[in-house]
Amino acid sequence: MKYLPIYFLLIITTLPLFGCQKSNKSSTQIDNKSYINDFELLQENPNNQTSVRITSPKAIIDPTNNDIDIFESSIELLNKNGQDFKVKSGNSTLNNLTNSIRVFNSVNISFLDNQDYYINTNSFDWDLNTSIIDINDPVNINFDNTRINATNGFYNIDSSLLKIDNSEFNRYIYNSKGEEEYHVKIKSDFAKWFKKDNTLVFTSNEKQVETTINFLLTE
C-alpha cells in the first residue's frame, strides 16, 4: 500500500561540530559561559553532500563541556537540491561529549514538499554516532488526509526506516464536493515506514491488526 511521501529526519554523520557563524555578532560573558545573540552553526558532511544548519536568536555555550544550549531553535537539513525539512522547537542542546543533539519543547518537523506534511512531538534524541533518532514521547504524524498517532518511535537514518509503537492510523477520504465519504482506521502494536519505497507496514503481537472502515452516507 502506497502513501503520500514524507521525509523524516535524514542523514548527518559523526563529523565534529564546527563553524559557529553569527549574523550581527553579539556575545556577552556574565559568568564562565558565553551568551550569544543571533546564533548560527553549520555542520557539513562531504561524504553525502548534506549539511545541518542551526539558527537561534539566543544560545549559551558552556566552556566546561563545550555544550551549547539553544533557545527557539530552528534546524534545517540541507542537501544538494536545497532544504529537505526544518525542525522548530523551544529548545535544543548540542552535547559534544556524546556527539548528540537533544531537541525538546513543542517540536515541529515540517517538510519541503508540502506544508500539510508535518510531525509533532515533545522531544527526540539524535545520536550522530549511530545515526539513530530516538523519540520517547508521543508522536503525531500528519500528511494530507492521514493522521498517525503513536506512543514513541525511532528512525534509523542509515536504513531509512521509521518504527513507531502502539500506532493508530486514520485516513479520511473526501468526495469532489469536499465532503467526507469514509474513514479508515488501523490499530496495531507496531508500524514501520520504509522511506525508500514509501510504504507502511502494520503488525501486532499475537493478534490481528485491527482495521475499521466507516462509510458516511450523504444525501
Domains by residue range for the chain, with CATH: 26-215 (2.60.450.10)
The CA distance from 83 to 24, in Å, is 24
Contacts of residue 183, defined as CB under 8 A and 6 or more positions apart, other chains included, come to 170, 171, 172, 173, 213, 214, 216
Q: For residue 129, with 0-12 CB atoms within 10 Å meaning exposed, 13-18 middle and 19 or more buried, which class applies?
A: exposed
**Which of 21, 11, 132, 19 minimizes the C-alpha distance to 78?**
11
Q: Per residue in 166-219, pLDDT tens?
A: 999 998 888 888 888 888 999 999 999 887 777 889 999 978 888 876 765 444
pLDDT of res. 102: 96
Q: Do the beta carbons of residue 87 and residue 75 sit within 8 Å?
A: yes
The DSSP output letter for 16 is P
In total, the chain counts a number of residues equal to 219
- For residue 19, pLDDT beyond 60: no
Q: What is the mean pLDDT of residues 47-53?
A: 72
Largest alpha-carbon pair distance within the chain?
Answer: 70
pLDDT higher than threshold 50 for residue 84: yes
Q: What is the CA radius of gyration of the chain?
A: 20
Residue corresponding to grid cell 518504527: 163
